Amino acid sequence: MTDDNYVVKTEDLRKAFGDFVAVKDLNLEVREGEIFGFLGPNGAGKTTSIRMMVGLLSPTSGKVNFGDMGDSLPEEKVGVCPQDLVLWEELTSYENLRFMGNMYGVPKRKLNKRAERVLKDLGLTDKRDNLASELSGGMQRRLNLGMSIIHHPEIVVLDEPSAGLDPQSRYSVWEYIKGLVEEETRCIILTTHLMEEADRVSDRVGIIDNGNLKVVDTPENLKKSVGKGDSIKIELEDKRKNPEAVEMLQSLDGVIRTSETSNRVVVRALDAVGNTNVFREKLTEAGMTVIDMSISQTNTLEDVFIHLTGRGLE
């Protein structure tokens, strides 16, 4: 189904590096006023996709359209916050913002006000006159985000925007990102491998794996799609026995599916609470020592990813 109110639309977008195909026939629409999240593990094709979508990387085939802006995107209309920090370390926080604004031709009077506003909104006012090299890693990442939107772009692209941030900074950055679409920004496209980030920030999420876009929907609809059952995460003393445990538990009554993620065995089952002792006994009988077991009775986006790919995000 096509939404005529899109800002970015890709048609059979594909990128190959030699024999390796990083993105396979991406068909996607990012709508006016939305935050669109690409969720997937490292190496899934998220960064390659967004770089092609904003003209930073030429596709091997396919095309991108920008709605009323046509098939080419003026550079002043887009702001990009890359995963790798891009800062001038011998400039202060304020000077970094002004330098970037000058590059985009923002008038001086507007630029000064915007720089002060960005510093305030990102909690960097007290670091206004500190060199970028003197900032902590989290502060540098927040400054990098501010530099990507100092010129009020219509399309903002954020590649792993909260990587390396402590939980408190992460939450404040999420609130800041959500506030951007209430001002002049027409849409935000972000990549993440963090379930909570995709869930809390995105209006819609596209799950991507091995260059394939698996599904696109709202976080709530995606979590509902997993169906009935609860998730049990089991940590064994001997992680080498995880594959054996996955295979064995899959055969038990009430088990919907099993997988391995983050060195844990993940079991999706009906009546998970009532079956935990059964699972523990079966594993013990097979010579496996359980050192931790936790139950989640609420579906997560990781449950969706496991449902689609058979493995976890990490």
Report pLDDT for 3: 55
Report pLDDT for 246: 93
Domain with CATH 3.40.50.300 in the chain: 6-223
Report pLDDT for 1: 40
Report pLDDT for 4: 64
pTM for this prediction: 0.81
What is the CATH architecture of 6-223?
Answer: 3-Layer(aba) Sandwich (3.40)
Residues of the chain with pLDDT under 50: 1-2
Report pLDDT for 168: 87
Domain with CATH 3.30.70.100 in the chain: 228-298
Domain 228-298 class, CATH top level = alpha beta
Provide the 10 A C-beta neighbour count for residue 12.
Answer: 12
